[in-house]
Chains A and B, each alone.
Chain A
Amino acid sequence: MDRRNFLKTAGVACAAATGARSARAQEHDTDPEEFVGVLVDTTRCIGCRSCEIGCALAHNLPVPDVQDDGALEAVRTTSETSWTVVNRFETDSGEVFVKKQCMHCWQPACTAACLTNAMAKTARGPVTWDGDKCMGCRFCMVSCPFDIPKFEYDEWNPRIQKCNLCNERLERGEKPACVASCPTDALMFGTKRELMEIARTRIYAHPERYVHQIYGEFEAGGTGWLYLSAVPFEQIGFRTDLGVTPYPEYTRDFLYAVPVVFFGMPALLYGLNLLAARTEAVRGAPNGAEHVPSPENPSTSE
């Protein structure tokens, strides 16, 4: 065990009870600028759903039948058997296809929620789930503003299912399976910095083709997945009311207050107790000093 780890462990008893946010250090170990993500240009998506197939094959999930157009009739959500889905929206400027999956938030709500670190943001950017740690509390599902984590309700040993940005492929130096299987370059993999440059360039080069917003640049504190669109984002199934505050911020004040209460409160209570004892003594102590009141000999009879 190295020194740093030892110190970490030693601090645990304290941190556990007080919620000292030592874990934040972990977020600064990597330069957040270099997190990777994917740029989705919805104007290029033809709705072929190859990405759905690629994803299913890469993660041993049931492979969807993309010939069946009926699947596009209703707007779908991701599920415990499909980490990504493509939806069709009728908009002012015609049919638009939008791929949906975990957004791999910069500061995810799900990892802030998770009490076991099963949900974790890796140094490279993917937000992954670890079945050896997860206790299935589903707080990640409650928290995620994009409603992404899904739970296997019909298993005795259920897993949380969600896109992991093909973390295992990234480790081998490959692109995510969906990006690799997209025939039209609607999906582009890279660091967020590069992707933002490309996205901006497209908007500048064709200001008439895009709304001038990159979804994911700031939403919920910024996400790894970025979207370009020809129509306002609320028309193609995006929530535009999420704000730009990173989700962990919402509980930060509370967590900061915890150590203050944890150490301040006992002192205050003890002080009150001494004061109360004094007042009682001054009042002439209706209960004699010798008397140790307890339920079996209550000191005052009502």
Chain B
Amino acid sequence: MAEASTGVSGGRLRFILSEMKPRGRWLTPFNVISIPVIIVGLVILWFRFTQGLGSVTNLSQAFPWGFWIGFDVVTGVAFAGGAYVITFVVYVMKEEKYRPIVRVTVLNGFLAYLFYAGALVLDLGRPWHIVNPIIGNSFGYNSVLFLVAWHFLLYMIAEAIEFSPAVAEWLGARKARRLLHAMTLAAVIFGITLSMLHQSGLGALFLLAKAKIHPLWYTEFIPILFFVSSIFAGLSMIIFEGTISEKVLKEYLGDKAGGHDNLVFGLAKGAAIAMFVYYFFKLLVFLHEGHWSELDTPWGWWFLVEVLGLVLLPCILYAFGARHRSLGIIKVAAVLTLIGIVVNRLNISVIAFNWQAPVHYIPSWQEIVVTLMIIFLEIWVFRWVVTRMPVYPGTNNRPAPAIDSD
């Protein structure tokens, strides 16, 4: 890092500036959709910061947390779980087979934290006090949220270190790369530990909402369920994201972004196992809590949709797809799993929260536009990085080819 930042010579600075320039065609379908959304999102945020959260969100006294927390932060972080799973497999267990997807997964994870967990700032009423729990003028040690905030921060640093060799290569900073590369294992081990803690910590937040969450979802084991589900959420995201970038970046990457079918079967098998453990655990929790009578209510049906339709079914599909080497089935399983994670996280944070309230919260269109804006911004940065830095194996980003189909 030292060399990269202090030793920036004029030449390197010019290089960075030249890399900043957009490449390829401007009028791509993605740009045409994302640019207006981002502009509208910025306007919405202007209202949000001048006239209060109430001016653009449907949040209320009974529903203090809505879509921005439930989807952007709580779900987004679960989706980003792939980074710690893959770094565990490759760096700790030395399964070299998965090495080709390490960088793109870590990059995805890092950007997800930066943007989705970063979206938390938009939701804070007094964001200028966000430094309070960090600089130490007021530590709420015994708050789970305090831990989660710290772990987010530390984990982002760990992921930045894990990804930094790619940045060093991009800048041609050899010495820095060696140094950063040497730090990788430590960063990975630290990162996995932090991930376990904050993935489960996000669940632990809701332990305090005992009086408000529907009994089918409230259990003292929420932290463990959140942790286990983040494993297959992350794996499914890798599969899903791989499918998309294979298509979208094809012209640029050739078959390098894809062409890892064997990896996908391995990931699918891992996801199937994690999901089975999760499903089994959910079942135990249900038997332990014994809310049989709740099952035959609309809430019960919804619960069954989540657990049977969006956990057990994709779990079986994954297992089937891995065994019969069917990419199509695995892709379906990945999509179902991702939907299941969204449903589960939203159930706990928003939908089954204050379930007895006479008027239930539904996100406003502005909340959704801002969420889309964040997703699009993340994709912009992701696209910028993968077309410049050595993220996918075998791509050397100079001279830069044009990309246009994204």
A155: chain B residues within 8 A (beta carbon): 52
A60: chain B residues within 8 A (beta carbon): none
For residue B185, give the distance in angstroms from its CB to the closest CB of chain A. Answer: 7
Within 8 A of B (CB), among A286-302: 286-287, 292-300, 302
Query: Contact between B142 and A24 (Cβ–Cβ < 8 Å)?
Result: yes
B192: chain A residues within 8 A (beta carbon): 265, 269
Other 16 A-B pairs with CB < 8 A, given A112-B208, A300-B99: A12-B139, A16-B146, A23-B139, A23-B141, A132-B129, A137-B123, A142-B206, A145-B211, A154-B51, A258-B201, A265-B193, A269-B92, A269-B193, A293-B96, A295-B390, A297-B393
Q: Could you jot down 13 A-B contacts, CB within 8 Å?
A: A9-B136, A24-B142, A116-B133, A139-B208, A141-B64, A150-B61, A154-B54, A241-B211, A247-B208, A266-B193, A273-B92, A295-B393, A298-B96
B283 at the interface (CB under 8 A from A): no
Residue of A nearest to B60 (CB): A153
| A254-B200, A295-B99, A300-B97 as given contacts; A22 in contact with B52, CB under 8 Å | no
Give per-residue flags for A147-165: 1 if the beta carbon is below 8 A from chain B beta carbons, else 0: 1001111111110000000
B260 at the interface (CB under 8 A from A): yes
B207: chain A residues within 8 A (beta carbon): 250-251, 254
Main secondary structure of the interface of A (DSSP, over half): loop
Q: Bound complex: CA of A143 vs CA of B64, how far in Å?
A: 10
For residue B266, give the distance in angstroms from its CB to the closest CB of chain A. Answer: 10
* Partner pick for A135 among B125, B141, B151, B204, CB 8 A cutoff: B125
For residue B391, give the distance in angstroms from its CB to the closest CB of chain A. Answer: 7
Best-surrounded residue of A266, A273, A280 (most CB of chain B within 10 A): A273
Give me the 5 closest cross-chain CB pairs, A-B, nearest first: A136-B125, A153-B54, A115-B146, A138-B64, A143-B208
Q: Bound complex: CA of A20 vs CA of B93, how far in Å?
A: 31
Classify chain A's interface size: 35 or more
Query: Contact between B64 and A151 (Cβ–Cβ < 8 Å)?
Result: yes
A72 at the interface (CB under 8 A from B): no
Q: Bound complex: CA of A22 vs CA of B141, how far in Å?
A: 7
A109 at the interface (CB under 8 A from B): yes
Query: Contact between B99 and A293 (Cβ–Cβ < 8 Å)?
Result: yes
A17 at the interface (CB under 8 A from B): yes
* Partner pick for B147 among A147, A250, A255, CB 8 A cutoff: A255
Query: Contact between B130 and A112 (Cβ–Cβ < 8 Å)?
Result: no
* Partner pick for A15 among B65, B93, B127, B141, CB 8 A cutoff: B141
Q: Bound complex: CA of A21 vs CA of B142, how far in Å?
A: 6
Give per-residue flags for B283-301: 1 if the beta carbon is below 8 A from chain A beta carbons, else 0: 0000000000000000000
Query: Contact between A115 and B54 (Cβ–Cβ < 8 Å)?
Result: no
Query: Contact between B197 and A261 (Cβ–Cβ < 8 Å)?
Result: yes
A147: chain B residues within 8 A (beta carbon): 61-62
**What number of B residues sit within 8 Å (CB to CB) of A?**
87
Best-surrounded residue of A79, A135, A143 (most CB of chain B within 10 A): A135
Query: Contact between A299 and B263 (Cβ–Cβ < 8 Å)?
Result: no
Query: Contact between A116 and B140 (Cβ–Cβ < 8 Å)?
Result: yes
B340: chain A residues within 8 A (beta carbon): none
Give per-residue flags for A228-267: 1 if the beta carbon is below 8 A from chain B beta carbons, else 0: 0000000000010111000110110111001001100110
A286: chain B residues within 8 A (beta carbon): 96
Query: Contact between A133 and B93 (Cβ–Cβ < 8 Å)?
Result: no
Main secondary structure of the interface of B (DSSP, over half): helix
Query: Contact between B129 and A133 (Cβ–Cβ < 8 Å)?
Result: yes
Query: Contact between A298 and B100 (Cβ–Cβ < 8 Å)?
Result: yes
Query: Contact between A134 and B143 (Cβ–Cβ < 8 Å)?
Result: no
Query: Contact between A254 and B204 (Cβ–Cβ < 8 Å)?
Result: yes
Q: Bound complex: CA of A157 vs CA of B99, how far in Å?
A: 48
* Partner pick for A116 among B88, B91, B129, B394, CB 8 A cutoff: B129
A114 at the interface (CB under 8 A from B): yes
Query: Contact between B132 and A133 (Cβ–Cβ < 8 Å)?
Result: yes
Q: How many Cβ-Cβ contacts under 8 Å join chain A to chain B? A: 234
Q: Bound complex: CA of A296 vs CA of B147, how far in Å?
A: 36
A6 at the interface (CB under 8 A from B): no
Q: Bound complex: CA of A142 vs CA of B151, how far in Å?
A: 21
* Partner pick for B102 among A266, A272, A295, CB 8 A cutoff: A295
A80: chain B residues within 8 A (beta carbon): 61
Residue of B nearest to A277 (CB): B94
* Partner pick for B129 among A134, A243, A248, A266, CB 8 A cutoff: A134
Q: Bound complex: CA of A124 vs CA of B51, how far in Å?
A: 37
Residue of B nearest to A118 (CB): B138
B140: chain A residues within 8 A (beta carbon): 23, 114-117
A276 at the interface (CB under 8 A from B): yes
For residue A176, give the distance in angstroms from its CB to the closest CB of chain B. Answer: 23
Q: Bound complex: CA of A157 vs CA of B61, how far in Å?
A: 16
Give per-residue flags for B33-73: 1 if the beta carbon is below 8 A from chain A beta carbons, else 0: 00000000000000001111111010111101100000000
Residue of A nearest to B129 (CB): A135
Query: Contact between A261 and B196 (Cβ–Cβ < 8 Å)?
Result: yes
Query: Contact between B193 and A112 (Cβ–Cβ < 8 Å)?
Result: no
A112: chain B residues within 8 A (beta carbon): 142-143, 208
B259: chain A residues within 8 A (beta carbon): 302
A167 at the interface (CB under 8 A from B): no
B26 at the interface (CB under 8 A from A): no
B200: chain A residues within 8 A (beta carbon): 254
Within 8 A of B (CB), among A10-30: 12, 15-17, 19-24
Residue of A nearest to B144 (CB): A251
Best-surrounded residue of A9, A114, A241 (most CB of chain B within 10 A): A114
For residue B52, give the distance in angstroms from its CB to the closest CB of chain A. Answer: 5
B209 at the interface (CB under 8 A from A): yes
Give per-residue flags for B88-131: 1 if the beta carbon is below 8 A from chain A beta carbons, else 0: 10011110110110110000000000000000100111110110
Query: Contact between B55 and A154 (Cβ–Cβ < 8 Å)?
Result: yes
B364: chain A residues within 8 A (beta carbon): none
* Partner pick for A276 among B49, B93, B143, B392, CB 8 A cutoff: B93
Within 8 A of A (CB), among B152-203: 154, 165-166, 169, 181, 185, 189-190, 192-193, 196-197, 200-201
Q: Bound complex: CA of A74 vs CA of B208, how far in Å?
A: 29
Query: Contact between A253 and B125 (Cβ–Cβ < 8 Å)?
Result: no
For residue A151, give the distance in angstroms from its CB to the closest CB of chain B. Answer: 6
| A143-B208, A157-B126, A255-B144 as given contacts; A269 in contact with B189, CB under 8 Å | yes
Residue of B nearest to A267 (CB): B189
B145 at the interface (CB under 8 A from A): yes
Q: Bound complex: CA of A254 vs CA of B197, how far in Å?
A: 9
* Partner pick for A302 among B53, B94, B143, B260, CB 8 A cutoff: B260
